[in-house]
Chain A
Amino acid sequence: GDSVTQMEGPVTLSEEAFLTINCTYTATGYPSLFWYVQYPGEGLQLLLKATKADDKGSNKGFEATYRKETTSFHLEKGSVQVSDSAVYFCALSDRAGGGNKLTFGTGTQLKVEL
């Protein structure tokens, strides 16, 4: 079945540091890939997405490139801020199975300190 593997957290960085959160996936078809963010006490918000190989999703300074050859969708940001502190979830939607169900990774907590 489909699965998503994320690097474990928490990840603690200083403000303005470079961020990478690794995400790899297994899917039977040609999935769409997503990064969701969950700020403390809130629900999930879609951060970015990519629907086919070599697509790059970007939003709020975050980027991720759909790499079919390595089945990866790593999240990057060049300079993090304290306000980026949150839990980040990588997810996939494999329409081959029908229904657009999302399969989530375990989430990676990011803490950004001054």
Chain B
Amino acid sequence: DSGVTQTPKHLITATGQRVTLRCSPRSGDLSVYWYQQSLDQGLQFLIQYYNGEERAKGNILERFSAQQFPDLHSELNLSSLELGDSALYFCASSLSGQSPYNEQFFGPGTRLTVL
């Protein structure tokens, strides 16, 4: 158990809908990262937050947004969902914002299926 929790574990929804994925980092970790993992694209970095502020942005679509709250939990919002958004979404946390100076601890993931 990494100490990172993600909810829900599974999510099935329809095209055009909007969903919110939630992540609670390890106690004491200030950075949260979001990743998308699909068979064809592999593991793609989406976005990083550090202590409430956006720190780095990766291949995140405009339809997707994220935020980190004062209690350091984070949410990833996916809107206008398309079939191609079906994937595993992972959250990871680290102590500082300077990764990979610090190892990342991954949550169990949320499996999103868009029908």
A binds B: no
Where the two chains meet, the residues of A that have a C-beta atom closer than 8 Å to any C-beta of B are none
